[in-house]
Amino acid sequence: MSTTSAYLTVRGIDIDVVYKDIKHLHIGVYPPAGRVRVAAPTRFDDDTIRLAVVQRLSWIRRQRKELAGAARQSMREMVTGESHYVWGTRKRLKVVERPGRSHIELDGERLVLYASTNSTPEQRRSVLDRWYREQLRNALPDLIARWESELGVTVPKWTVRKMKTKWGSCNRETHNIWFNVELAKKDPVCLEYIVVHELTHYFERGHGARFAALMDKHLPDWRMRRDLLNGSPLAEEEWDA
């Protein structure tokens, strides 16, 4: 059976489309990330597939919500013994209370937070957030430079910020890029996927067949990286790739 694939976005949901020699269209939502896959007859065009997805949106969103709830982390209280993720690896938190400036250090499998005795969970979370931002700011320059060279583009400005619904964002007019601070918790291959994803938007605005073809050309395993990113434990918010 011959197959071809495409990549669409419908109402903010990314859809993997596989065209097959079949009679009827099938929609599936798969764990752990809630990936949506459509198996469509080869005679169907994009508009027909979009309409079919829109008609099943309520069901798709229910399935994705259930899967996201299963992987969600609870609010961190910032006490010794908690687990936190650093570049895709789980670390056990150790809190050391002492006078002086609060900061974070990595000690093998432990994430050590040095904090003042009377610091609140919110203050400790702020220290960890700043540390995650620093991790990204240290990792991104070389990665961006490598893909600027590979794709023949220039990134005039990039920023690390907290974002509620996206892992990354690109302004097509200015070419500025924003990266979600949560990426510092994920496997490094996921960060590279987001870098390539956003730079590919320099050439293609949407997530259609041309975008997928460009991603296939430059980062052939991008779907695996995307699924790894979306399948890793979530923080308090739900993120989209």
- What pLDDT digit, counting tens, does each position of 40-60 carry? 999 999 899 999 999 999 999
Domain residue ranges in the chain: 3-71, 121-231
Separation of first and last alpha carbons in the chain: 30
Q: Is the model's pTM score more than 0.85?
A: no
pLDDT score of 26 more than 80 = yes
209 φ, ψ to 5°? -65, -40
Band of residue 241 on the pLDDT scale cut at 50, 70, 90: very low
Residue 155 Cα to chain centre, angstroms: 20
Are 166 and 182 in contact by the 8 Å Cβ rule? The answer is no
d(C-alpha 225, C-alpha 223), whole Å = 5
pLDDT score of 70 more than 50 = yes
Q: What is the mean predicted confidence (pLDDT) over 50-74?
A: 81
d(C-alpha 179, C-alpha 186), whole Å = 13
Kindly report the CATH number that applies to the domain delimited by 121-231. Answer: 3.30.2010.10
Band of residue 118 on the pLDDT scale cut at 50, 70, 90: confident
Band of residue 240 on the pLDDT scale cut at 50, 70, 90: very low
Chain-wide mean pLDDT for the chain?
88
